[in-house]
Structures are given as structure tokens and as C-alpha cells.
Structure 1
Amino acid sequence: MIRTLLALDGALVRGALSLVLAAEDDISVVAEVDRGDVVQSTIRLRRPDVAVVDLGLVEDLPVAGTCPLLVLAEPRRARNLHTVFTPSRAVGILGSDVPPQRVVDGVRRLSRGEPVVDAELVMAALHRDSPLTPRETEILDLTAGGAPVTEVAGSLGLAPGTVRNHLGRIIRKAGARTRVEAVRVARDAGWI
């Protein structure tokens, strides 16, 4: 039986994944937590074989021990994956939007000492440096939230033409054709 800890933000996702894992004959969920500050103590107390963790809950914590971690990360946060790697710990990486069966497979593979890697997340983590200036990042972030050019301009104290010029440069830097595509590229690359 593979003893598994779930350290995920969001009760709905955590509960659903708990049900999926518990339905497997060879996996049991021994603990569920939703706060990063209790992950390390729960690992020591419950002694899971594998911990499925949200990157946001463990990226700033020194999660010690021999328990392999299956880290679930949003593509836009992949640039922070380096925070969970240590030479003494097995770490698997999957996108937070993968089908539940990939998480089940990842738990099994990590428990056997096999690698679990989402190639797209690794590429995003390796290409952490954004070509965007801080101002371009601000503009694209507001645009990604659905703000029209005039609203972006007003909130940043810029002229609408200046915002359009920035968006043109952002689109070129992202290798995109449209603003929407530039937002997608930037999110996938972890620039915003």
C-alpha cells in the first residue's frame, strides 16, 4: 500500500483527488493538509511514501526527509520549481491541470523511485527569464485580466497609444500574432 499525503490548496480539488487516489487498491491517503506551514510536520508524523503537493504550499519551505514529492504546478508558476529540488529528495513534477490518472500514475512511479516529469513544465522552469520589461509585464498582466487598452492606460497613467505600442512589442517578443496569444505564451512561459 502506497501511503500518500495530499498538501493541496482548495478543498474541492484536494477532496476530489483524495477520492480518486483512495479508489485505487494500492494507494491510501493518510493525511490531507491545506497549509504550507504544516506540511513538514505532517510528513514527519504520518510518514507517507509519497506526498502530492501544490507548489504554492511548499516552494518556500525546507520540506525535509526522504518522502518523495509529486509537485503539482501551474505552468505560469513553473519558474519557481527550482525551490523544491534538493539532492537528497526525489521530486516529480506535473502540471496542476493534468488528468487525475496521471497523478495516480505519478504516485505509483515515485513510490518505485522512477522519475515523473512534465516536459512542458521543465521547459518553462528552465526558461525563467522573461524578455519583458517590468512595464511590459504590468501591461500584459492587466491585459490578461481582461482590461481594455483605455483601462490599462488609465490605471498606469499612460496614454492609450503608449499602451498599444507596448502591446506591439510584447506580441513580437512573445512570437505571437495577437494579444490573446501573447498572454497564453507569457503564461505558459511563466512571465506573468
Structure 2
Amino acid sequence: MDAEEFSNRDQLREMLEANTKIPARLVESLMSSDDREENADAYYCLSQLWKRIQPEMEVWFTAPFVFDFLIRSITEPHENADFNSNALSSYEAARNLLGILVGWFDHPQGETMIADLIKRIDRAFLDGDKSIRLCIETGFLEHALEYPQLRPLFAHWSDHPEMRDAHTHALEWGLAHEHTQ
């Protein structure tokens, strides 16, 4: 069977099994797909297989997709019983957002990316229903506030009437579980 007859997912599975390089154009196709499973595969490549993508993709190009994918995983949970799915639960997505924030906090070019991420999290919280807000509060914010250096990024929550209670509860958690360096 010709490679063009395979779906993007099939092509990726073959490359993963063969432990070969992953073409950036395939990852871009997965990123631009309307299929949630293909988006999950793209995220998996970007988060777990970055060094195998050739040519290397630029972070400024992939970051908006990653943020959108993770926020969407929180705000529109994707239920899938497929064992081979790379889809994330809402709480897994929240923890991955935290990993990005922690990883980019001290990065020289991270300031713009972090500001964008914080805006997206704020918007998801404010637009979200009770379960989305709870996921962001307990799956992301509580753990972000465990890091003293990240607390100023969320200080504005204490002044916002819809965010104040979540911030207060999350800060209590963060102070009780503080990461010391």
C-alpha cells in the first residue's frame, strides 16, 4: 500500500513503531486537522518526540497549537476508550500547562509566551462552567502557586470578583505545599 493511502495517524503509528524520524509536515498536518485524535497525536509528537521531528519545528509556531490543544482538553473534554489514543483528560491537560509554565518561566524568550498562556487560562476560567473552573483551580492553579516565583503571575486573580475565591483556595494549597529551591 502506498504511504499516501494511509491516514496521517497510520503514517505516524508506522514511524513510531519503526522508531524513525517524524517529518515536520506530518506533524503540521496533524496540528491543522479537525480531528481531535489527530490533534492529540500532534501534541504527543510535540511534547514527547520533539527531537525526532525533522526538520525541527519552531516553538513560536507550535506554542499556539499546544496552548489551544491543552485549553480545549480542559474546556471540551474528549472521551475516548481507544487504548492507543493520545488524548488527555482535563486534569492531565492542566498539569501539562503547569509543566509548560514552569519550564518557560526563566527562559529568555518565555515572557511573551507566558503572558499568552496566562491570558488563555484566565479566559478559560472566566468562560468556564463549575467543572472547568474546578479543574483549573485544583489541577493547575493550586500547583502553580506552590512555586513562589509563579505567584505574581496570578496576583490579579485576587482582585477579580470571579477569580478571587479560586485564588484564595489555591494559594492556601500552594503555601501548604510550597516548592523550595
Write 1 or 2 for the structure with the bigger share of helix.
Answer: 2
Write 1 or 2 for the structure with the bigger share of strand.
Answer: 1
TM range (shorter): under 0.3
TM-score by length of 1: 0.26
TM-score by length of 2: 0.27
